[in-house]
Amino acid sequence: MFDNLSDKLDKAFHILKGHGKITEVNVAETLKEVRRALLDADVNFKIAKDFTTKVKEKAIGQDVLTTLQPGQLLVKLVKDELTELMGGDVAGINLSGTPTVILMSGLQGSGKTTFSGKLANYLLTKKNKKPLLVACDIYRPAAIQQLYVVGDSIGVEVYSEPENKNPVEIAQNAIKHAKANGFNVVIVDTAGRLAVDEEMMNEIERVHKAIQPHETLFVVDAMTGQDAVNTAKTFNERLNFDGVILTKLDGDTRGGAAISIKSVVNKPIKFVGTGEKMDAIDVFYPVRMAERILG
Ligand code: GDP
């Protein structure tokens, strides 16, 4: 994960090794390389620039040059700043409802259906919940079928109304079904399109308004880099979602989306997807991710 970024940061810090005495020029050079590494990882220009400016200010504030191990201190400052950029503390999921209603949003192919299954499995096995999966895609029968396959594989019931073309009604009926049958979490998988379009946005907005979810989660493919950040912005403007799910972090992703998304939409990354299997889900810990990136 993010191997390229880790390598480049490692090289940046090499500048500080092998110098008898470290100078301001060495630090500036290192931070320039850090910025370059972030840009290469597809972090947007302003975020990368602000990042190095902040680290530089802290380095000056803490008198980096006069400390015994300036290289180590600089690595620490970069790690702290990366942690902060990715959200600081771990963000939990609100499970206070009876039932808790969770709405999944995102583009087609982002991994919504897969993640709905992973989340149901996580809540069932780790949080002792009884989840219900709801198929609200009225356009693609294959999408409903896919949710049944997922539900079967983890032993979670799926609610659908294949003849009903009104996703608002389906979602509302599913919540009634959950209440009547002792389900305490309802995960609503919605229809996505290949790109943002007005009809999809209007539809999910209607569902969102009607069911007032406790958690609205935006699912995005980490491999799409800056596009992931832009799509997040659009969905957030319409849904004011509660958290981001970054999928496909097991792939050859450069890391830009993971690093930038929080500061662009000001919403935390709550979980990441790291594979196609139902147990390939991790709670997102900014500090662990920063440690991983810095090796
Ligand atoms: P949806 O259209 O948003 O519901 O997306 P799907 O859940 O159907 O996922 C699209 C494709 O991405 C499928 O082939 C999934 O198996 C795959 N996928 C989803 N999440 C992950 C992940 O975290 N890692 C990998 N490698 N593949 C994933």
Cα 143 from Cα 149, distance rounded (Å): 10
Compute, in angstroms, the gap from residue 279 CA to the centroid of ligand 1: 13
**Ligand 1 close to Cβ of residue 193 (< 6 A):** no
Cis preceding-peptide flag for 99 (omega within 30 of 0): yes
Compute, in angstroms, the gap from residue 92 CA to the centroid of ligand 1: 23
Q: What is the pTM of this model?
A: 0.94
The per-residue pLDDT string of the chain (295 residues; one tens digit each, 9 = 90 and over) reads 788 999 999 999 988 876 667 788 888 999 999 999 999 999 999 999 999 999 999 988 888 778 778 888 899 999 999 999 999 999 989 999 999 999 999 999 999 999 999 999 999 999 999 999 999 998 888 999 999 999 999 999 999 999 999 999 999 999 999 999 999 999 999 998 888 889 999 999 999 999 999 999 999 999 998 899 999 999 999 999 999 999 999 988 888 998 999 999 999 999 999 999 999 999 999 999 999 898 7
State the DSSP code for 98: T
Q: Say what angle helices 225-239 and 198-211 make with each other, to 10 degrees.
A: 50
**Ligand 1 close to Cβ of residue 275 (< 6 A):** yes
Q: What is the widest separation between alpha-carbon atoms in the chain?
A: 75
Taking the CA of residue 52 as centre, how many other CA atoms within 13 Å lie in the half-sphere pointing to its CB? Answer: 21
| Residue 25: predicted pLDDT | 87
Task: Give the amino acid at 2.
Answer: F
Taking the CA of residue 188 as centre, how many other CA atoms within 13 Å lie in the half-sphere pointing to its CB? Answer: 33
| Residue 194: predicted pLDDT | 83
**Ligand 1 close to Cβ of residue 44 (< 6 A):** no
Q: Atom 26 of ligand 1 has which residue's CA nearest to it?
A: 275
| Residue 40: predicted pLDDT | 93
Give the neighbor-by-neighbor strand order of the sheet with 158-159: 158-159, 131-135, 185-189, 100-105, 215-221, 243-247, 269-273, 281-283
State the DSSP code for 3: H
| Residue 19: predicted pLDDT | 64
**Ligand 1 close to Cβ of residue 247 (< 6 A):** yes
**Ligand 1 close to Cβ of residue 236 (< 6 A):** no
Compute, in angstroms, the gap from residue 209 CA to the centroid of ligand 1: 27
Q: How far is CA 257 from the centre of its chain?
A: 8
**Ligand 1 close to Cβ of residue 280 (< 6 A):** yes
**Ligand 1 close to Cβ of residue 274 (< 6 A):** yes
Compute, in angstroms, the gap from residue 71 CA to the centroid of ligand 1: 40
